[in-house]
């Protein structure tokens, strides 16, 4: 940064990477747009030079918890996710919203991040009418295959990493019926999304998910912010104010803007995985069945009430007897 005179940073992806550099970013007054979802960076410990155009760990899961309780009519759910902060915050968001709308979490399972065999955890899934998985990377593929192999038939719901569109080419029949919530979806029928998908196919020969979409949208935010600042990057406070003031209507995910803490407010899409409508040579497709506009990081809770609670963790919210 210091040698090359960096004006804006895009990235990193992982929360532990972001947390390692957030103080330095603040000292250097360098705007940073990151996919890292760590909730508290835009909540109890905000960084004025940080923006997130993707989502917090819990943002999509608040929506999913609400949908699972009110539309899917699930009552008793077992959650399972990796044993680290992203998993805790995802499942915490799901549990809080699910319970708010009358649901109950029967059990919370935490496999280590590197788990070759989920069988011991799958064996503990019982006494429920649904499962919420929060896996990321390639882990959703292995979990769903092992879940199906165990013969379990409980409906599965998941967030954007657990049902990301980029995984569709690798999922099999085990993913059919899985309901996911994401701030981006391949099936968004807008010219902006079509241009993005066509560009990814042409340049990289891959169907994008939100990892690619999030960084593409981050670049759109930088472009709009630079224009608003008149191309002036010398005054970092002026630049970050221009970036935070960006209000876009034409992005692959739809319209977005930022709250006063630098986190995105936008549309979130609930999708069901199946074969209907599949394009781009895919056999499976996430079809949007409901969308929620202007979703902020606090869901329907008043901001100060939300921030008075601890950050979502392995033990918060606590399990309550169903």
CATH entry, 9-57+217-267, from 2.30.40.10, 3.40.50.11540, 3.30.360.10, 3.40.50.2300: 3.40.50.2300
Q: Are 109 and 91 in contact (CB under 8 A)?
A: no
Residues in Cβ contact with 220 at an 8 Å cutoff, skipping those fewer than 6 apart: 248, 251
Domain spans of the chain, in order of start: 9-57+217-267, 59-188+269-307
pLDDT of residue 273: 98
Contact 31, 9 (CB under 8 A): yes
- pLDDT confidence tier of residue 87, bands split at 50, 70 and 90: very high
Compute φ and ψ for 257, nearest 5 degrees: -150, 180
91 or 17, which is more confident: 91
pLDDT tens-digit map of 164-220: 999 999 999 999 999 999 999 999 999 999 999 999 999 999 999 999 999 999 999
Query: How many H helices and E strands in the chain?
Result: 9, 11
Lowest mean pLDDT: which of 2-11, 104-113, 175-184, 245-254? 2-11
Q: Is the pLDDT of residue 15 over 90?
A: no
Q: How far apart are CA 32 and CA 50, in angstroms?
A: 5
- Which residues, listed in sequence order, are joined to residue 156 by a DSSP beta bridge? 131
Verify cis geometry, omega within 30 degrees of 0, for the bond prior to 81.
Answer: no
Say whether pLDDT at 112 is over 90: yes
Report whether pLDDT(14) > 90.
no
CATH architecture of 59-188+269-307: 3-Layer(aba) Sandwich (3.40)
pLDDT value at 119 more than 90: yes
DSSP letters for 178-230: -EEEES--TT--SHHHHHHHHHHHHHH-----HHHHHHHHHHHHHHHHHHHTT
Residue whose token pair is 């056999």: 283
pLDDT band at 300 (very low <50, low <70, confident <90, very high): very high
71-80, 112-121, 151-160, 216-225: segment of lowest average pLDDT: 112-121
Q: Are 93 and 57 in contact (CB under 8 A)?
A: yes
Predicted pLDDT of residue 212: 96
Distance CA 301, CA 310 (A): 14
Residue 48 banded pLDDT, cuts 50, 70, 90 = very high
166 Cβ contact partners less than 8 Å away, ≥ 6 residues apart: 206, 207, 208, 209, 210, 211, 212
Backbone angles phi, psi at 255, to 5 degrees: -70, 150
Q: How far is CA 240 from CA 9, 18, 129, 233, in A?
A: 12, 18, 46, 9
Q: CA nearest 46: which of 58, 63, 32, 59?
A: 32
Residue 161 is predicted with a pLDDT of: 96
Q: What's the pTM?
A: 0.96
pLDDT cut 70: percent of the chain above it = 100
From its phi and psi, is residue 52 left (phi > 0), alpha (psi between -120 and 50) or beta?
Answer: beta
Confidence category of residue 2, pLDDT binned at 50, 70, 90: confident
Structure tokens at 77: 């759910």
Same fold, 9-57+217-267 and 59-188+269-307: yes
Q: What is the pLDDT of residue 116?
A: 87
Query: Long-range contacts of range 170-176, CB-CB < 8 Å, 24 or more positions apart?
Result: 170/138, 170/141, 171/141, 171/144, 171/273, 171/284, 172/145, 173/148, 174/144, 174/145, 174/147, 174/148, 175/144, 175/273, 175/284, 176/273, 176/274, 176/275, 176/284
Task: Tell me, rounded to whole angstroms, the distance of Cα 305 from its chain centroid.
Answer: 22
Computed over every residue of the chain, the mean pLDDT equals 96
Question: Tokens standing for 68?
Answer: 């699972």
What pLDDT, in 10s, does the model give residues 49-64? 999 999 999 999 999 9
The full length of the chain comes to: 322
Angle at 224 between CA 18 and CA 234, to 5 degrees: 70
At 143, list the tokens: 């979990």
């Amino acid at each position: 940064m210091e040698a090359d005179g960096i004006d804006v940073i895009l990235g990193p992806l992982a929360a532990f990477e972001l947390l390692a550099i957030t103080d330095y970013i603040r000292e250097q007054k360098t705007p940073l747009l990151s996919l890292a979802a760590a909730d508290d960076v835009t909540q109890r410990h905000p960084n004025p030079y940080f923006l997130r155009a993707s989502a917090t760990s819990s943002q999509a899961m608040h929506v999913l918890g609400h949908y699972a309780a009110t539309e899917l009519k699930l009552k008793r759910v077992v959650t399972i996710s990796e044993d680290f902060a992203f998993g805790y915050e995802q499942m915490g968001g799901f549990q809080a919203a699910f319970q708010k709308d009358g649901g109950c979490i029967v059990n919370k399972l935490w496999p280590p991040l590197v788990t070759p065999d989920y069988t011991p955890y799958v064996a503990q899934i019982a006494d429920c009418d649904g499962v919420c998985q929060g896996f990321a990377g390639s882990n959703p593929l292995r979990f769903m295959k092992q879940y199906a192999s165990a013969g379990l038939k409980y409906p599965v719901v998941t967030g954007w990493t657990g049902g990301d569109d980029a995984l569709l080419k690798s999922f099999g029949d085990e993913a059919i019926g899985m309901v996911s919530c994401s701030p981006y979806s391949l099936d968004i029928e807008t010219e902006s999304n079509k241009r993005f998908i066509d560009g990814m196919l042409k340049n990289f020969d891959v169907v994008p998910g939100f990892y690619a979409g999030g960084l593409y949208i981050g670049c759109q935010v930088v472009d709009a912010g630079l224009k608003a600042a008149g191309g002036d990057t010398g005054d970092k406070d002026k630049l970050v104010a221009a970036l935070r003031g960006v209000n876009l209507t034409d992005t692959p995910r739809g319209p977005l803007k930022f709250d006063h803490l630098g986190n995105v407010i936008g549309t979130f899409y609930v999708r069901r995985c199946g074969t209907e409508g599949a394009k781009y040579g895919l056999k499976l497709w996430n079809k949007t069945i409901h969308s929620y506009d202007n979703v902020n990081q606090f869901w329907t809770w008043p901001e100060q009430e939300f921030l008075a609670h601890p950050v979502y963790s392995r033990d918060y919210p606590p399990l309550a007897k169903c």
